[in-house]
Structures are given as C-alpha cells and as structure tokens.
Amino acid sequence: MTPRIREAQPADTDLLAQWMIAMAWETEHKHLDPATIRAGIAAGIADPAKARYFVAMQDAAMAGHETVGIPVGTLMLTTEWSDWRNGDWWWIQSVYVAPDHRRQGVYAALHRHAEQLARATPGVIGLRLYVEKDNANAQRTYSALGMHDAGYRIYEAEF
C-alpha cells in the first residue's frame, strides 16, 4: 500500500529528531547532539523558507477496525538559487525510512511527492541530493527514480 505524504507538524519534531540521529549513525557513524537536532528541526518546521519536512504515513488497522496513520519515513526539502539557470534547485535532505518499512516504496512515495511539488512550482529547475559515497543501496534507489551522479564532490569548512 502506498503511503500518504503530509507536511510535518510541530508534534513530529521529537520523532524526526530520533530518525535523524539514527540516520546519521547508520550512514556516517556520526553522533548528533539531540538538543541541536531537535532545535534545528523545530526551526525548519516553523519556517518554510529554511526547510520543508514531509512525513510518509502508512495506514494500520487497530483494534475495533479503526484505521490509524503511522509515520514511516521522512524527507526534508531546502532550496538553492542558481544564477546559471535563473531558478531554484530543491535539495532532498534528511531522508529516513523506519527499518521495518524499508524496501516497501516509502522513499519512492516521498520522492514522487517532492518531484510533483517541484514540477508544479514556477522557478524550480530540478531536484538534487547528496549521498554518502559508500551508500550503494541509496545510490541504486536514487538512480531507479531517474536521478544521476552530477559529477560533483562536496567540500566544506564547518564552523
């Protein structure tokens, strides 16, 4: 069943922070400061100019035949102005799918949602993301969704 995608709400902050901590450890063996990541996610949710978070919700049957949506994955979008193209790149970042829901189309649904929004937004010229160089599974997933290696390396000077 394809998950439905919704905008993140302030009530999602703690879960998204837990997921980002798990993602950083799984993909890069980096420890994130819980207070910093929580504050960063809260700031992004509060200000769409900083970031937009989306949550994939999977319906699950509960006792009494009640259906409830369970959060199963997320991604964040940020923007980058391109003077070369006179438009915005939308960057896909902070991708996470809960372990029990991986390889079930959750990320594909999030990606398609982001792509549909991007194509419908004037001035958006495309989607970009960065991926850990040794994360072959993620690279295969992104390729299967029509993305390709743009040939760049990322350099940084963190302060």
For the segment 62-87, the average pLDDT, to the nearest whole number, is: 88
Give the global pTM.
0.92
Which residue from 121, 129, 119 is spatially nearest to 95, judged by alpha carbons?
129
Per-residue pLDDT, 63: 61
Q: Which residue has the tokens 């369970």?
A: 70
Per-residue pLDDT, 64: 62
Cα distance between residue 108 and residue 1, in whole Å: 12
pLDDT one-digit tens code per residue, 6-57? 999 999 999 999 999 999 999 889 999 999 999 999 999 999 999 999 999 9
Q: What CATH architecture applies to the domain 4-144?
A: 3-Layer(aba) Sandwich (3.40)
Burial label, 31 (beta-carbon count in 10 A; 0-12, 13-18, 19+): exposed
Q: Where are the domains of the chain?
A: 4-144
